[in-house]
Structure 1
């Protein structure tokens, strides 16, 4: 939930009632009018932890974030030391072993200068480059921006900086309706929600203001996927000796073996013998890999253990030489891990198997199952409705032709002879088998394309 609260002391009772009713996990507030003289006990909410950034100069102002105790106990919370001159901001990193994202709450006053905006968007650009998952909730006080495209629209310099920041950083701005209503004034969109991934939030709702505030309350559902697998996974890999397999295939008298008049019987015999030969020349090997970081090898794991041993030795001795040894080895380990990651990603990018690339991309995604919305923007969960939405969407790509009774008659030549014999030249079969992709899945017979490619071509 995100809101522009205004005078906190006058509306805190209304905010407490709203939180009690909706029970949000995360609550972000801009323009709180907090100051250093107000203690946390005055603005505390039951079952919530308060993080605040007060206005440095002048009275009141500031931003704050309430995190439920459930979030605090489940994740590691780290406020980031990011200061933007003349802009009230608060950045919090929320992470665990499976995921990491950054929440930022920003209030930009209407009197902010263009030079301050340049510094603001430069800092936010660096933040985007350093973190994959970013959620920015802000009151930018830029009512002149037109989020719906219109003709002959020329934004001012500050608005141009904001739009360039969103476009160049490949971010998404979700708010497309006015968020501030005041009597005798045109409604304006001041409160924005900017995300690195549009699927991080769903069901954006524009609620009624808190107390006498003139800003609406924005609420949405946070969608994050945690990988519940362990740190390591065990894979079974099969290695086939195709040289030995081809030798065994060539020593079989296939003409005698496949002498049945039934094609189906010959196929069953051929398949059984081929499967037996493949199993005979295949060895199985168990490989243990890191679930989240597959580039971590056994050598790197040993280096990690040594790093921990050096740190433990320093804690016992508290000597400068012990700390220097740990610091130097830690830097060396960081270089090794980064190099291993780059080498692994290079192998994935250069792999001829596209499934390896897609698998790596899926593992790096935060949102694994994006929710589907209907034409009204409402998220649907019913399987039947989802199926119909996909069917209607794909049906729009096809032309519906009118059905008439005036179907033209086609004059086709009649065939007076029957096809009795079918001949498949060995050279043609070899060409077809050599073009099989080894990355495709086997058919119902269970024979892999690699076996057909390497063994059959060598035999022919």
Structure 2
């Protein structure tokens, strides 16, 4: 199935010795972009995010998204949020960039990869705020002896219990998306340290997340194939309906 064209530019930033490359994607999503183009962009982004440090930036044109509640009114905006969640992206913009709406976004799949984010006013006749930020290449870890979480020996019962004890409504009251994430991450890491042991990990498979085992990887691939089959059937059904002559009433 041919991919729908998308307005995106991909750049590979070569890493220094001992550091991996970083992929930067600049994307413009027109307000009237269709579902097929959205899905094509999400597939491209997801594939890049699985094996690379990724920074995704651009105008998403999803003004109805509430990043504080991770919710949206429109179906296309909710699908975009699903892509963000599925790829564990962190959205680092916290202020509106155009007429009270947060349209211009910076997403990354590596905590600490993007920093010093500033809005700098508009450029020329544009009514969008300029966004200035730095890609912190030092956030990439060197290929050496690593430790990985050993989920097979984890105590998930205690893990859930520790997180359930936290009064989240009080802890996150009045917080923005970034502050809420930092608070949640701090509690999560504390529970992780107590409940999930670590193990030595060789460097040959460092591109795959440590929690992505063979069983989970197989299910992800199966989900992708099923989605492609559904999209193909939907396309075929649409062509059949267009080619089918309308019924004529008897005289």
Q: Is the 8 A contact 2:95 2:102 kept in 1?
A: yes
Once the two structures are TM-superposed, the CA of residue 167 in structure 1 deviates from its matched residue by: 1.0
Q: How does 1:307-386 map to 2 (within 5 A)?
A: none
* RMSD after superposition: 3.4
**Deviation readout 1:179-232 (Å, 9 max, x if unpaired):** 113xxxxx21111000012311222111111111100011123222289xxxxx
**Deviation readout 1:389-436 (Å, 9 max, x if unpaired):** xxxxxxxxxxxxxxxxxxxxxxxxxxxxxxxxxxxxxxxxxxxxxxxx
Q: Residues of 1 paired with 2:5 and 2:18: CA distance?
A: 35
**What runs of 5+ residues in structure 1 fail to find an aligned partner?**
1-82, 182-186, 228-290, 295-343, 351-374, 376-460
**What runs of 5+ residues in structure 2 fail to find an aligned partner?**
152-174, 176-251
Q: Residues of 1 paired with 2:150 and 2:65: CA distance?
A: 40
Q: Residues of 2 paired with 1:135 and 1:293: CA distance?
A: 24
Cα–Cα, structure 1 residues 164 and 211, in superposed 2: closer, same or farther, change >3 Å?
same
Q: Residues of 2 paired with 1:292 and 1:110: CA distance?
A: 42
Q: Find the counterpart in structure 2 of residue 171 from structure 1.
A: 89
SS in 2 for 1:180: coil
1:91 and 2:4 matched? no
Q: Is the 8 A contact 2:119 2:130 kept in 1?
A: yes
Aligned residues: 152
Rg comparison, structure with higher value: 1
Cα–Cα, structure 1 residues 162 and 154, in superposed 2: closer, same or farther, change >3 Å?
closer
Q: Is the 8 A contact 2:6 2:40 kept in 1?
A: no
Q: How does 1:221-240 map to 2 (within 5 A)?
A: 221-225=134-138
Q: For 2:119, which of 199, 206, 221 is the aligned residue? A: 206
SS in 1 for 2:76: helix
1:130 and 2:43 matched? no
**Deviation readout 1:152-178 (Å, 9 max, x if unpaired):** x55322111111111121110111221
Q: Find the counterpart in structure 2 of residue 292 from structure 1.
A: 143
Q: Residues of 2 paired with 1:166 and 1:148: CA distance?
A: 14
Q: Find the counterpart in structure 2 of residue 220 from structure 1.
A: 133
1:140 and 2:60 matched? yes
Q: Find the counterpart in structure 2 of residue 190 from structure 1.
A: 103
Q: Is the 8 A contact 1:204 1:221 kept in 2?
A: yes
Q: Residues of 2 paired with 1:211 and 1:192: CA distance?
A: 20
**Deviation readout 1:342-362 (Å, 9 max, x if unpaired):** xx989x969xxxxxxxxxxxx
Once the two structures are TM-superposed, the CA of residue 141 in structure 1 deviates from its matched residue by: 1.0
Q: For 2:22, which of 66, 85, 101 is the aligned residue? A: 101
Cα–Cα, structure 1 residues 219 and 84, in superposed 2: closer, same or farther, change >3 Å?
farther
SS in 2 for 1:129: helix
Once the two structures are TM-superposed, the CA of residue 84 in structure 1 deviates from its matched residue by: 5.9
Q: Is the 8 A contact 2:54 2:109 kept in 1?
A: yes
Q: Residues of 2 paired with 1:202 and 1:163: CA distance?
A: 22
Q: Is the 8 A contact 2:4 2:36 kept in 1?
A: no
Q: Find the counterpart in structure 2 of residue 158 from structure 1.
A: 76
Q: Find the counterpart in structure 1 of residue 222 from structure 2.
A: none
Q: For 1:180, which of 94, 98, 122 is the aligned residue? A: 98
Cα–Cα, structure 1 residues 190 and 154, in superposed 2: closer, same or farther, change >3 Å?
closer
Q: Is the 8 A contact 2:65 2:72 kept in 1?
A: no
Q: Which runs of 4+ in 1 moved over 6 A?
A: none
